[in-house]
Amino acid sequence: MRNLLFKEMKLSASVLSYIFIAFGLMFFLPGYPILCGVFFSCLGIFQSFQNAREANDLVFSALLPVSKQDVAKGKVYFSCTIELSALLLMAIVMIVRMTALADSPVYLQNALMNANPFALGMAFLLFGLFNLIFIAGFFKTSYKFAKPFVTFIIVAFAIIGIAEAAHYIPGFEALNAFGFANFPLQLGLLAAGLVCYIVLTWLALRNAAASFEKTDL
């Protein structure tokens, strides 16, 4: 699998996949839907899939001495590498905002979602949905990516909208905690997001591998 990951990075990946990790820094933006950073990172990964299709990457990979299922898994692992890098960046920004910038007026007046563990949990959920909707969806044909990507866009922006506005609903104010306020609840939501990411990615891995195995190239 290490060799497949190396192949993804050296031959298939678009440089945009790496550059768009930087959208994790959007967690710094006040008054902006910070979860859009997740979408842009996913857009970077999407570019690599587009690159790979143009370069006959799937046939090349299927001819390498690996099982066909591992080829699909390699793509999921590559995507996870980009996603986890973006999540790490988001986590660092979140910690800075929760500590050094906790009392910053610009963030205290923030109308939208704060960069807190709940936000990071939602980022995990969105990346998990990208893996299941887009990657597993792409491998149903191993060729068409417009439909799975558009489906992901619709689902992602619906969830981003709900998450950004949720703290305005009476009883849900704690979702928008500053600093370490409501910390146990916030950590619980982060853990729930992480669990969703693991489950969704596992499903994506399983479905993508099974679909690609059945695909005639």
Question: Within positions 124 to 153, which residues make up the interface with another protein, using CB under 8 A?
Answer: none
Handedness of CA 106, 101, 159, 168 (dihedral sign): negative
Q: Which of 29, 36, 43, 62 binds another protein (CB under 8 A)?
A: 62
When the beta carbons of 63 and 150 are compared against another protein, the nearer one is 63
Contacts of 71 (CB under 8 A, 6+ apart): 4, 58, 61, 62, 64, 212
| CA-angle at 131, arms to 67 and 32, nearest 5° | 155
Q: Which candidate, 144, 112, 138, places its Cα nearest to that of 37? A: 112
Provide, rounded to whole angstroms, the least separation between the CB of residue 216 and another protein. Answer: 4
> Which position has the token pair 């399983």?
206
The 4-43 site mask, x for binding another protein (CB under 8 A), equals: --xx--xxx-------------------------------
Provide, rounded to whole angstroms, the least separation between the CB of residue 45 and another protein. Answer: 18
- Compute the residue count for the chain: 217
For residue 70, give the H/E element and its range.
helix 68-98
When the beta carbons of 59 and 154 are compared against another protein, the nearer one is 59
By CB under 8 A, which span of 42-50, 57-65, 117-125, 203-211 interacts with another protein?
A: 57-65
When the beta carbons of 57 and 164 are compared against another protein, the nearer one is 57
57 binds another protein per the rule CB under 8 A:
yes
Query: How far apart, in Å, are the Cα atoms of 112 and each of 40, 124, 155, 176?
Result: 18, 19, 19, 9
When the beta carbons of 1 and 191 are compared against another protein, the nearer one is 1
- What is the size of the binding site for another protein (CB under 8 A)? 23
d(CA 70, CA 181): 44
Provide, rounded to whole angstroms, the least separation between the CB of residue 3 and another protein. Answer: 5
By CB under 8 A, which span of 63-71, 124-132, 137-145, 196-204 interacts with another protein?
A: 63-71
Residue 199: count other Cβ atoms within 10 Å of its Cβ: 12
Question: Within positions 64 to 83, which residues make up the interface with another protein, using CB under 8 A?
Answer: 64-68, 70
